[in-house]
Structure 1
Amino acid sequence: MKILIVGTLNGQVGAASQIAVKRGAKVIHTDNINEGLDTLRQGKGIDLVLVDIQLDIETFISNLNGERINTPVVACGVATDAKAAVRAIRAGAQEYLPLPPDAELIGAVLSAVAEESHAMIYHDPIMDDVVRLAKQIAPSDASVLITGQSGTGKEIMARFIHRNSRRKDGPFIAVNCAAIPENLLESELFGHEKGAFTGAVARRIGKFEEANNGTILLDEISEMDPRLQAKLLRILQEREIDRVGGKKPVPVNVRVLATSNRNMEQSVAKGEFREDLYFRLNVVNLQLPSLKERPKDVEILADHFIKKYAKANDMAERPLSPTALNKLLRHSWPGNVRELENTMHRAVLIAGPTEIGEEAIMLSGSPSAQPSADTGQATGNPGDFVGQTVADMERKLIIATLDHCLGNRTHAANVLGISIRTLRNKLKLYGDEGFNVPAAGGNG
């Protein structure tokens, strides 16, 4: 992970940098927002920007938006500067990090922006053939389409392929095609030239150029606009990209991996996805099984997440009780591994001092996991549904799911089977209507 620190952070740059480096990050520092913008334009693979709250964050974020640079921004300042923190969040900063820097807070922010664990963890035999094929094709430059239900670990599989490829020492760049607005995705992928559009005040290097000599992951490729699909097809054929507003093509040496939670053949048949692009991407197809199909992985994954979140929250590791494990094994896991991770994160936080009991396992569909109608969310009594509109029920389902996912917008959208863009639009509507929307958490 690469972090750009902009400003002096009240003299705390060194401390913040050391903490980030110990967490496995690479750190670049600039003194002011102009230098920070220049660094981002150069396509150095920056994953997160920490900005001194004493700088003009509003102008900085406005310039990022104007130049279609989609990099998360976290404001940093003294803990007592509450008004400045509010201004930064309103300007578009995703988080506010108080100074002096705290190791656990910085660790949580890094984990939220780019989840740190990409280990391939499995024990169920059904995964053996999938992993064996992944290892076999990893050294090639073939395009790979990774398909499966939401939450099955498609990005983790993509990173596994990259780590086992001849490009492992090159960059791995992931782009979520569903999370970036259509009007920004073209610049995000291909970059742009100065003057290409209003706000393009300098050349910006896109993700394909950042991934040169490495791998690019196009997450949820099925959400890509048809016009961009045509551009992507040309890249796969010609191995060159056209920056927005550019006058000549730029050669790139990039391996393309793509994921989708949809039936791509159906999308092609409906005219939603180009058939020629589908065949170009689908040189090799890795179909990930659902967690329901790999029951022997439930216990080993649950144990992994217990260790992960006990460490992240500075809590003692506690074993699963037999009844708690049995409850996990009986569940159908519609949200797959991601749902299991959220469930264990919650269980670690609320369990007793000696073990994680059955009462700490709050599953979707169980009464203990569903707030009452007084909170504006759904209950398990069918009689409560009578007299309510479809819009009311949809709102309650969305808010209940978001609460279950600890506020993580991306995870909730995947569980609900809708795009992150649709979810954010609905949450904005609910907020404007005065409903209580859970605060953003995790990658949300």
Structure 2
Amino acid sequence: MRLLIIGAMDGQIGAASKIAMARGAKVSIADDVEQGLEALRGQGADLVMIDVRRDVSRLVEALEVERIVVPVIACGISTDASAAVRAIKAGAKEYIPLPPDAELIAAVLAAVTAENHAIIHKDPRMAQTMRLAEQVAGSHASILITGESGTGKELMARFIHDKSPRAKARFVAVNCAAIPENLLESELFGHEKGAFTGAVARRIGKFEEASGGTLLLDEISEMDIRLQAKLLRAIQEKEIDRVGGSQPVKVDCRIVATSNRNLEDYVRQGGFREDLFYRLNVVNLGLPSLRERPLDIPILSDFFIKKYSETNAIAIRPLSPEARQMLIKHSWRGNVRELENTMHRAVLLASGATIGPEAIILTGAPLGGHDPVVSQVTHAAAAVMSGAGATQGLVGRTVADVERDLIIDTLSHCLGNRTHAATILGISIRTLRNKLKQYSEEGVSVPPPAGGEERASL
């Protein structure tokens, strides 16, 4: 992990740095926000710690404007509680008091940056896919991972990186569907100062960040066909041109791309360049849907129950046989992601000694053109009402009110990421944006977009 510390902290910075480095972090230091931004533009970071006496608000706003996605935590030696509150309100994810406590810093670093990349499986179909992935991971070939949404394509890309000779270098992911097409070129290739309005300084792109490591182009089929030509050149020549630049920049990164489309069909339809398809499709890994790997449903369910019980400090309850059969028989259009969300809800809704059918809310196609959010919320309310009076807070409220709170709470849980929130809710990103626009016009406070998403997308 690369940690950037901004501020002097009256001598405590050395102690904080040593603790972070003892936990495996590579630490760099900047005296103020401007120096910190220069470091982020030039070399990036996985986490930023900033002294509360520096301008936390300025840092967070600049990160949003420049679309630099990195979590920020504030720290300080002051006992002034208001300083910590201001930092959190400005956008810091956590606050650490100094002098530093080793265990506290370790816990916060883990909470902010930890990601679980385990691929849980037992089914022979998935085991076969994993063997193929491990076999090709050691090569330098480009890999195309295909499969339905929610099957774990990004997890597979990380698995390939971790098993490759580049494992000690960076893994950089770009969601081609989440970034507006007019910004994606700069995101990939970087830009020079003054290249366009808002380009306040030179910034390296994801190709340069990933040089020596792996670059994941997530949902590459959503990339504009005009940009695909520049991408093809970058992959073939191993060099990129920053937007507004005059000299090519050499890069060396392994490309892994994902798509939930049938790219061969999309090529025939004219939506994807054939030459780029063949350049990416040196090895194709097709991930099976969850319904094609039924033996994985029980073990994944147990894994998510344990995960979210621990996250929410709830006693771990086993699945009842009836609930387990419900899960096995479900079609799982959203695959592992849908199962994860279902088990998260079940952990929160269960009230007995086991997680029974009353806690299992299964999503499905809305009937008769009803709003999908309303259908889901109504289903949730009905399911919860059957469970030992656990819905006293819902009685007397309209479905619209419950729907709004569900959307806002989900968005907050996703730290403002519209794409992730829409996936969890089971609705399209367009539907979510329309809802948020309506709430904003009604005066409801809506969480701001995550750093990698454009505010204009609202």
- Superposition TM-score, scaled by structure 2 size: 0.77
Q: 1:328 to 1:120 in 2, by over 3 A?
A: same
Which position in structure 2 is the counterpart of 1:410? 419
- Say yes or no: does 1:76 pair with 2:74: yes
Q: Is the 1:402–1:412 Cα contact (8 Å) retained in structure 2?
A: no
Tell me the matched-pair count: 417
Q: Structure 2 CA distance, aligned partners of 1:342 and 1:15?
A: 40
The alpha carbon displacement at 1:366 in A equals 11
Write the letter of the residue equivalent to 1:74: V
Q: 1:271 to 1:19 in 2, by over 3 A?
A: farther
Q: Structure 1 CA distance, aligned partners of 2:175 and 2:253?
A: 17
- What RMSD in Å do the two structures reach over aligned CA positions? 4.0
Q: Is the 1:19–1:106 Cα contact (8 Å) retained in structure 2?
A: no
Q: Structure 1 residues 196-205 or 165-174, which shifts more?
A: 196-205
Q: Structure 2 CA distance, aligned partners of 1:406 and 1:294?
A: 32
Q: Structure 2 CA distance, aligned partners of 1:294 and 1:425?
A: 34
Which position in structure 2 is the counterpart of 1:194? 193
The alpha carbon displacement at 1:2 in A equals 3.2
Which position in structure 2 is the counterpart of 1:222? 221
Q: 1:198 to 1:13 in 2, by over 3 A?
A: same
The alpha carbon displacement at 1:286 in A equals 1.1
- Say yes or no: does 1:239 pair with 2:247: no
Identity of aligned residues (%): 55
Which position in structure 2 is the counterpart of 1:36? 36
Q: Structure 1 CA distance, aligned partners of 2:22 and 2:431?
A: 35
Q: Structure 1 residues 262-271 or 236-245, which shifts more?
A: 262-271
Which position in structure 2 is the counterpart of 1:110? 113
- Say yes or no: does 1:434 pair with 2:442: yes
The alpha carbon displacement at 1:333 in A equals 1.5
Which position in structure 2 is the counterpart of 1:126? 125
Q: 1:231 to 1:104 in 2, by over 3 A?
A: same
- Superposition TM-score, scaled by structure 1 size: 0.79
Q: Is the 2:147–2:261 Cα contact (8 Å) retained in structure 1?
A: yes
Q: Is the 1:48–1:71 Cα contact (8 Å) retained in structure 2?
A: no
Write the letter of the residue equivalent to 2:94: L
Q: Deviations over 1:8-35 (max 9, x none)?
A: 6798867876887788765544332022
Structure 2: unaligned runs, 5 residues or longer: 98-103, 381-398, 454-458
SS at match of 1:42: helix
Q: Structure 1 residues 176-185 or 23-32, which shifts more?
A: 23-32
Q: Structure 2 CA distance, aligned partners of 1:157 and 1:357?
A: 32
Q: 1:359 to 1:378 in 2, by over 3 A?
A: closer
Q: Is the 2:3–2:47 Cα contact (8 Å) retained in structure 1?
A: yes
Structure 1: unaligned runs, 5 residues or longer: 382-392
Q: Deviations over 1:201-223 (max 9, x none)?
A: 43222211121121110111112
Q: Structure 1 CA distance, aligned partners of 2:235 and 2:248?
A: 13
Which position in structure 2 is the counterpart of 1:5? 5
Which position in structure 2 is the counterpart of 1:97? 94
Q: 1:2 to 1:140 in 2, by over 3 A?
A: same
Which position in structure 2 is the counterpart of 1:211? 210
Q: Is the 1:222–1:264 Cα contact (8 Å) retained in structure 2?
A: yes
Q: 1:350 to 1:440 in 2, by over 3 A?
A: farther
Q: Is the 1:186–1:244 Cα contact (8 Å) retained in structure 2?
A: yes
Q: Structure 1 CA distance, aligned partners of 2:128 and 2:95?
A: 47
Q: Structure 1 CA distance, aligned partners of 2:273 and 2:401?
A: 34
Q: Deviations over 1:262-283 (max 9, x none)?
A: 2223332332222221121112
SS at match of 1:132: helix
The alpha carbon displacement at 1:154 in A equals 0.1
Write the letter of the residue equivalent to 1:323: E
Which position in structure 2 is the counterpart of 1:339? 338
Q: Equivalences for 1:300-311 in 2 at 5 Å?
A: 300-311=299-310
Which position in structure 2 is the counterpart of 1:274? 273
Q: Structure 2 CA distance, aligned partners of 1:29 and 1:139?
A: 35
- Say yes or no: does 1:425 pair with 2:421: no
